């Protein structure tokens, strides 16, 4: 049996003919064959604008080469005088269709273009090789009647061939080998590169696994819905993907950016928080053609480039032009727009995470960074419930967002606590029961800090939890220095080093604000400094803070304060 992507029983199509042929090919072709169903891509041949390509079924063999198949169901008729094609369905209704031989031929050449721009394929050094196309009409018993000057009978398959598809596929590949010369064999490495480009499986480690010395054994796999989003994005150039905390937005954003860069497109992965940008950058260090930065880091780099090249201080000019503007919300975006206008755009694709934190003024320079704003890729990931910076951005993407609707990060108990402060479309809880949210009750900073110290010591010494898997998050930063001093005086284990997000290291226990920790996660979160929080006004902060915890969530405060923030779930 051939190797198939996806498995035949997982394949989805509106065409019963496609599914019939795909299953039959899977059963009849040998194990050396690889078959891919419903393959789609976007390429930029010769650096030109994006060009879409697709084929119904792609067959690969390490020795015999590649075959792109176009499948047409129903009874098919044609008139070569008028170049019209018609498919007649089971109800006798006629439908005008495109010339399947033209579609198959375009699929073949678009596939060649995509392979030529793939870095992985280019590394193999494969020159000319056997690649062909064919049309299969599984509901027709006399497919050779469709032959014509551009459609020889050797590249037409019909119902009679369904009983011996191995022979038919072999004959078609031999036909193309004889027509154009066999050339090189693509080999198993060529087949593997093809699978990696069009059908690679997706799995990711927890968000901070790259910085965790003792990596978790269980890997976090994308749900079927999330994997489907990635497949859909192959066919989209501009789209918003929305979802609640823990639904995998950052994981998908990173994976999409990596795929774009791996396909030869200069890509920018953009976010708002420095901590998240640092983490994503570390995960993507080996990916060529991919830049990872916060919006304001991009502003700074471009402003400095113009200063070095032209001697202009664009930030000073922006301050002078808008004296009452804010440095981060107005002056830096304005300076970035002028810098891009001066130097010219460089990116083929931009992926934005944390888009809910981007202000209106951010989007003009973001679009200007794209080499072809009307054609280039722009993927925007957001959670409107995490708008703790109170932005009100007009995102430049038309249409309704795609929605991620299952929490894959938290336990059921943490989900219930965090999502009691969520407002929006229903997000399904995870399938991890976990333990209840724990309360550490005390009044005053010193007593609360003492409870936290006792808890941290127990987690690290008795339960074997690594310090870097723990974060203490402050909802209200007003008295942050006093709380940090109280923690520094605690008799904590020698292996524990307290620090902020940017100080993360082995043995480092993060103590920082919820706002600065956005986009990140820990196995254990201790939520603190919410005594003055208003459940209505500060619900985004509570929602974000609680949802950072994967396995254990502790809330530390007075009984009244803890009851207040957890009341919504009971």
326, 391 contact by CB (below 8 A): no
How is residue 360 written in tokens? 């209106």
Token pair of 387 as six digits: 């708008």
From residue 122, alpha-carbon distances to 36, 117, 255, 264 in Å are 21, 7, 21, 11
* Nearest CA among 278, 296, 298 for reference residue 343: 298
Residue in this structure with the two tokens 């993907």, named with its chain if needed: 241
Those residues whose C-beta lies under 8 Å from the C-beta of residue 62, and which sit 6 or more positions away, are 32, 185, 186, 187, 188, 190, 191
CA 510, CA 210: separation in Å to the nearest integer?
16
Q: What is the pLDDT along the chain (570 residues), one digit of tens a residue?
A: 899 998 888 888 888 999 999 999 999 999 999 999 999 888 887 767 788 889 999 999 999 999 999 999 888 877 777 777 787 776 777 778 888 888 999 999 999 999 988 888 999 999 899 999 999 999 888 888 888 888 899 999 999 999 999 999 999 999 999 876 668 999 999 999 999 898 765 544 443 323 323 333 333 444 555 666 777 777 788 889 888 888 888 988 999 999 999 999 999 999 999 999 998 998 899 999 999 999 999 999 999 999 999 999 999 999 999 999 999 999 999 999 999 999 999 999 999 999 989 999 999 999 999 998 778 889 999 987 755 444 445 788 887 888 888 888 888 899 999 999 988 778 888 877 778 999 999 999 999 999 999 999 988 888 888 899 999 999 999 999 999 999 999 999 999 999 999 888 888 999 999 999 998 999 999 999 999 999 888 999 999 999 999 989 999 999 999 999 997 554
If we measure between CA atoms, which residue out of 413, 442, 388 comes closest to residue 561?
442
The beta strand positions in 100-225, using DSSP E, are 131-137, 156-158, 203-204, 220-221
Other Cβ atoms less than 10 A from the Cβ of 47: the count is 9
Cβ-defined contacts of 457-461 (< 8 Å, 24+): 457/491, 457/492, 457/493, 459/524, 460/493, 460/495, 460/496, 461/493
pTM over 0.85: no
H helices of 432-523, in order, are 445-457, 480-488
Chain-centroid distance of CA 448 in Å reads 40
- Domains by residue range for the chain, with CATH: 3-198 (no CATH), 203-404 (3.40.50.300), 412-569 (3.40.50.300)
């Amino acid at each position: 049996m051939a190797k198939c992507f996806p498995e035949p029983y997982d394949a989805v199509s509106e065409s019963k003919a496609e599914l019939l042929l795909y299953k039959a090919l899977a059963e009849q072709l040998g194990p050396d064959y690889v078959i891919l169903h419903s393959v789609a891509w976007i390429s930029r041949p010769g650096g030109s604008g994006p060009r879409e390509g697709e084929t119904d079924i792609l067959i690969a063999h390490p020795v015999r080469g590649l075959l792109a198949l176009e499948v047409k169901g129903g009874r098919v008729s044609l008139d070569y005088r008028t170049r019209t094609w018609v498919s007649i369905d089971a109800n006798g209704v006629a439908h005008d269709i495109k010339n399947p031989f033209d579609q198959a031929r375009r699929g073949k050449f678009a596939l060649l273009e995509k392979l030529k721009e793939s870095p992985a394929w280019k590394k193999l050094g494969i020159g000319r090789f056997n690649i062909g196309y064919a049309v299969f009409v599984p509901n027709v018993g006399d497919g050779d009647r469709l032959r014509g000057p551009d459609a020889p009978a050797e590249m037409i398959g019909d119902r009679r061939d369904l009983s011996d598809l191995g022979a038919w596929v072999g004959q078609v590949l031999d036909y193309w080998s004889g027509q154009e010369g066999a050339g090189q064999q693509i080999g198993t490495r060529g087949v593997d590169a093809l699978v990696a480009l069009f059908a690679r499986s997706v799995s990711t480690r927890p968000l901070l696994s790259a910085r965790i010395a003792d990596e978790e054994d269980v890997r976090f796999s994308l749900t079927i819905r999330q994997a489907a989003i990635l497949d859909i994005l192959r066919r989209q150039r501009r789209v918003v993907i929305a979802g609640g905390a823990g639904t995998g937005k950052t994981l998908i954003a990173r994976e999409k950016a990596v795929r774009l860069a791996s396909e030869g497109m200069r890509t920018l992965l953009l976010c708002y928080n420095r901590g998240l940008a640092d983490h994503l950058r570390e995960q993507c260090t080996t990916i060529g053609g991919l830049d990872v930065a916060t919006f304001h880091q991009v502003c700074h780099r471009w402003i400095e480039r113009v200063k070095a090249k032209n001697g202009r201080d664009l930030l000073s000019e922006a301050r002078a032009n808008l004296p009452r503007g804010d440095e981060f919300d107005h002056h830096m975006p304005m300076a970035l727009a002028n810098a891009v206008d001066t130097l010219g755009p460089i990116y083929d694709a931009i992926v934005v995470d944390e888009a809910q934190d981007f202000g209106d003024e951010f989007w003009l320079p973001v679009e200007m960074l794209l080499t072809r704003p009307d054609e280039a890729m722009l993927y925007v990931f957001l959670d409107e419930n995490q708008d703790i910076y109170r932005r009100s951005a007009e995102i430049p993407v038309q249409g309704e967002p795609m929605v991620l609707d299952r929490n894959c990060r938290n336990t059921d108990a943490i989900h219930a606590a965090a999502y009691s402060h969520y407002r929006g479309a229903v997000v399904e809880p995870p399938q991890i029961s976990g333990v209840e949210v724990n309360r550490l009750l005390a009044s005053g900073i010193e007593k609360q800090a003492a409870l936290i110290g006792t808890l941290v010591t127990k987690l690290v010494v008795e339960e074997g939890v690594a310090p870097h898997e723990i974060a203490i998050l402050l909802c209200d930063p007003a008295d942050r220095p006093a709380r940090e001093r109280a923690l520094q005086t605690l008799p904590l284990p020698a292996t524990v080093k307290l620090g902020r997000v940017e100080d993360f290291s082995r043995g480092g226990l993060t103590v920082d604000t919820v706002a600065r920790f956005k986009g990140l996660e820990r196995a254990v979160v201790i939520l603190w400094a919410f005594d003055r929080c208003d459940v209505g006004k500060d619900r985004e902060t509570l929602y974000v803070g609680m949802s950072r915890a994967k396995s254990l969530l502790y809330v530390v405060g007075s009984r009244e304060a803890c009851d207040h923030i957890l009341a919504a779930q009971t």
